[in-house]
Amino acid sequence: MIIANDSQDHTFVLARAAEIPGFDTAIRPAHERAMQFAHFDIDHFLRHHWQKRPLLIPNPWASWHNPLEPDELAGLACDDDVESRLVIGDGAQRQMESGPFAENRFAELAAGPWTLLVQAVDHYVPDVAALLQPFRFVPDWRIDDVMVSYASAGGGVGSHYDQYDVFLVQGLGQRRWRVGPLCDAQTPLLPHPDLRLIADFEASDEWVLGPGDILYVPPRYAHEGVAVGDDCMTYSIGFRAPSRAELVDGWCEDLAERMVEEDRYVDPDLERQACPGEITPAAIARLHGLVTQALADREAFARWFGAHNSMPKYDGDWRPDTPIGAATVRANLANGMTLARNPASRFVFMRQPQCHWLFVDGKRFDCESALAEQLCASSEITLDPKVAASAETHTVIAALIDQGSLAFIDDD
C-alpha cells in the first residue's frame, strides 16, 4: 500500500490517490487492459452453481495481471471521497476503523494481522473496472461494485455471510478460504459493535487461492478468508439483491408521494350494520382493493424500479460548469468523438413497444432502441453514425452530460 512494503518491519509509504493513473475525473481515454476468460463454462456455471452452491474456479484468465498495486489501494483509503475500513486483529478481538486514514496510519500498525478494505475501487481505477467485463453474463442491473482488500499474514474480516452473490478474485499472494453452511437471521453471531461474525463457524470446504484463482460464494453461505503470508490482495465482485422489504418500502413510498388527497375510501352503498363495532368482510375487501389496485400497476412499477435501481451508490461528480447544449453535442459527434461513461453512474434500459426506457442515475429517458443499447454496451462509446446524427440523440446526450453521467473524451 504505497505499499512500498518492507516485510520485516511492515513500514508503508503511501501513494496519494491522485497519483493513480485514471483516478481523478479528468476525461481521458480508458487504459483498460482486456480481461477475459480463457476457459470458464458460463452456461454450466449458471445451471449448476449460480445461487446454488460455492465453486472454486482455478485461474480461468487468458492472461492474469493484478490490476492495482497495494500502494495505490492505500492511497485511495486516504482520500476523503472513498469509503474504506481497517480491520485489526483476529478472532473475536477484531477492531474496525473507518477511513479516510491519515498517511502515517499504516506505518503505525503493530505486528500482527490486519486487513484494509476499500469499496467501489472500480469507480476510480479503470483497470479494476475492467474486471467486471467478464462477469457481465450477470445483468448489469445486478452488479454492485468491486471491493478490494489488502491483508498482512493472518489478516481477514472473520467468518461471516453476505446477502448477495460474490466472486472473490485473488490478485496477489495467497488467501485460505473456508466455506460453511447456509445461514439466516437465526444464525448465532458474536457480540461485536461493527462486524457480523458467526459464533460457531464450521467449515465444510477449504481452498488456498493464488493469483488469478476465483471463489464463487452464493448468498448466505458462511465463509472466512485468511491471508497466507503478506501482500495478499483480493478483489470482491459483489452483486445487488434487493430485499422484498426494500422493494415494498420504496415502491409504496413512491406511490404515496404521487397520490392525491382526494383518493380515499368510499362506500356510497353503505347499509346499516347490526353491530357498529364490526369491520365487515365487504369493508376489508374494498380497503384491500384500494391498496392492491395501486400496487398492481406493473408499468408504473417498472418506471419506479428502473429509476430506483439506477441511482448511483457513490458520487462521482462529472457535471460541467455550464450546460453543453445540443449544438455542441452534434458537432462533437459529427467529428467522431468518443463518449466516456462516469464509472460511478449506472446505465440500464427496458424495452418498450415504441422506444426504450433508458435509466441513468435515477432519471428516465425515452429514446431510440439503438441509442439506449449502445450507451449501455460499454464504458466508452463511439456512436453509430446514423444514431449520432439524430436530433433525439443530441438532446439525450446533452442531458446526460449536464447531469454528470457522460463526458466526451478529449485526446488533448
**Alpha-carbon distance 120 to 123, whole Å?**
6
User: What is the average pLDDT value for the chain, to the nearest integer?
Assistant: 91
Q: What is the pLDDT of residues 73-98, one digit of tens each?
A: 999 999 999 999 999 998 878 999 99
DSSP label at residue 106 = T
How far CA 396 is from CA of 319, 324, 339, in Å, comes to 15, 12, 13
pLDDT of 233 over the 50 cut? yes
Quick one: pLDDT band at residue 410, thresholds 50, 70, 90? confident
pLDDT of 234 over the 90 cut? yes
Percent of residues, the chain, with pLDDT higher than 70: 91
Kindly state the average pLDDT of the residues 104-112: 87
pLDDT of residue 34: 63
pLDDT of residue 359: 98
| Four-CA torsion 12, 14, 15, 17, nearest 10 degrees | 130
Kindly state the average pLDDT of the residues 260-265: 94
- 3-class state of residue 154 by DSSP: coil
**In degrees rounded to 5, what are phi and psi of residue 379?**
-80, -20
pLDDT of 392 over the 80 cut? yes
Kindly state the average pLDDT of the residues 137-149: 97
Tell me the domains of the chain and their CATH numbers: 4-239 (2.60.120.650), 244-270+277-296 (no CATH), 326-408 (3.40.366.30)
pLDDT of 10 over the 70 cut? no
Are 82 and 124 in contact by the 8 Å Cβ rule? The answer is yes
pLDDT of 120 over the 70 cut? yes
pLDDT of 36 over the 50 cut? yes
